Amino acid sequence: MSAERNALTSSPFSPDSPRRLLITGGAGFIGSNLVYHWLGAYPQDFVLVLDALTYAGNRQTLQPLESNPNFRFVQGDICDRALVDRLLREENITAVAHLAAESHVDRSILGPGAFVQTNVVGTFTLLEAFRQYWLEAEKPESFRFLHVSTDEVYGSLAPTDPAFTETTPYAPNSPYSASKAGSDHLARAYFHTYGLPTLITNCSNNYGPFHFPEKLIPLMCINILLGKKLPVYGDGQNVRDWLYVEDHCRGLAQVLRQGAPGETYNIGGNNEVKNIDLVTLLCEILEDLAPSLPVHPATDLITFVPDRPGHDRRYAIDAGKIRRELGWSPQVTVAEGLRKTAQWYLDHQSWWRPLLSPEYQEYYNKLYKLS
Ligand code: NAD
Ligand code: DAU
């Protein structure tokens, strides 16, 4: 790594549109929201999505973009080095937003292998491919690699602990968070060792449209609408810091466009809520939005089930750095965001009903053992 190339990495990222962006995992929850956000905000830019379409990826979500000449979808694995090499060159990519991952903690407990493969080996494969491509580039100063990660790498907080900052030591507790921590370290090391212009974001719990049914908020919305039990782990007192997905996508775009290479930015909603309070609130919202629910009051469906092994008690993000340095702050309150999300699940049953497949039911029954 020459000092000259290293110095170039502090130049601003592609101030002149059009930019050419690769979004990995763009058929998943946050990835698809980011694709819509990016093409909405910067319609002259080009977006290539690379997504393996695992159980969590959904081509249908991106269907309205199929006729957009500035959009291309490729089904493929981020671990496929030859494919990644070819796509970077074929589309003259200048920036990567890396979101492809195995993302669900419960699945990582049932089967951690896929998490190591995609999250660690897959991120390594992308970084290596991007590094080689960047080394050959004519204008390397305009390149960026944004690694999208989670607050779970910081471990669990006690009730009165201060929120996670960018300097909180890593202490991942689940196979999922351990695999994300590994990938964060790789992204950081590629900046430190090779000068590759990587950036890392660590974000709190997202919610909103296109969220796969296995996660707490969509699961509860769907089960309330179907009159099924609402499984709450342990005593329901675990706390998560909720962020509406559009706010997260705005933050990611800001970091990619204006963040300093080599830096980490925490992103969070400043919205700490206990799980039991969140589930109760969703019951109340859906009672209001859909008065003819199968079970009324919907709170009768709340069922405490055995706790998730190693369940982190509390997450909370201090988003002071991104606010001070890049001017980002969340705009959607949790009351507003939950209402919008509940309405979305009510209105988009044709999106989520096909996802309740026999394979999903098998996973669900194995996890919850509920009748
Ligand atoms: P998701 O599970 O909804 O989507 C993941 C996407 O990655 C899917 O479309 C899937 O098909 C794709 N994918 C999986 N393995 C792949 C592979 N080997 N090659 C190519 N594509 C593959 O996940 P999400 O909730 O949208 O999370 C996206 C990213 O954001 C993840 O890296 C996650 O760790 C991070 N994150 C999520 C949250 C959250 O609350 N959901 C919060 C912070 C950070
Ligand atoms: O903090 C960011 C992380 O948020 C992301 O990195 C992960 O990809 C994302 O899945 C999410 O992880 P969580 O484990 O916090 O999300 P989940 O929706 O699975 O659970 C939220 C809380 O609700 C958690 O305390 C566990 C609890 N829960 C979850 C499910 C699925 C229940 O009580 N019952 C359930 O059925």
Residue with CA at minimum distance from ligand 2 atom 14: 105
362 a catalytic residue = no
161 a catalytic residue = no
Listed by start position, the domains of the chain span 3-207+242-270+316-333
pLDDT of residue 13: 62
Round to whole Å and give the CA distance between 316 and 24.
26
∠ CA(19), CA(20), CA(25), 5° rounding?
130
239-241 vs 46-51, strand pairing mode? unpaired
pLDDT digits (tens, 9 = 90+) for 315-367: 999 999 999 999 999 999 999 999 999 999 999 999 999 999 999 999 999 99
Q: In sequence order, what are the beta bridge partners of 200?
A: 147, 264
pLDDT digits (tens, 9 = 90+) for 196-242: 999 999 999 999 999 999 999 999 999 999 999 999 999 999 999 99
Q: In sequence order, what are the beta bridge partners of 144?
A: 95
Residue 260 half-sphere exposure, CB side, CA atoms within 13 Å? 9
pLDDT of residue 10: 44
Q: State whether CATH 3.40.50.720 applies to domain 3-207+242-270+316-333.
A: yes
pTM of this structure: 0.96
pLDDT of residue 99: 99
DSSP string, 84-116: HHHHHHHTT--EEEE--S---HHHHHH--HHHI
138 a catalytic residue = no
pLDDT of residue 6: 40
pLDDT of residue 369: 84
- Residue 321 is encoded by which pair of tokens? 């750095």
Residue 299 half-sphere exposure, CB side, CA atoms within 13 Å? 8
Residue with CA at minimum distance from ligand 2 atom 11: 205
Residue 202 host element (H or E) = strand 198-203
Closest-approaching ligand to the CA atom of 314: 2
Residue 361 host element (H or E) = helix 358-368
Question: Which residues, at least 6 apart from 248, have a Cβ–Cβ distance to it below 8 Å?
Answer: 30, 33, 203, 206, 267
pLDDT of residue 166: 98
Q: By the 8 A CB rule, do 174 and 116 touch? A: no
Which residues form the pocket of ligand 2, taking CB atoms under 6 Å from any ligand atom? 103-105, 150-152, 204-205, 215-216, 219, 231-233, 238, 240, 275, 308, 315
Nearest partner of 24 among 45, 46, 49, 58, judged by Cα:
49
Nearest partner of 278 among 318, 229, 220, 225, judged by Cα:
220
Q: By the 8 A CB rule, do 267 and 204 touch? A: yes
Q: Using 50 as the pLDDT threshold, list the residues of the chain that sit under it.
A: 1-11, 371
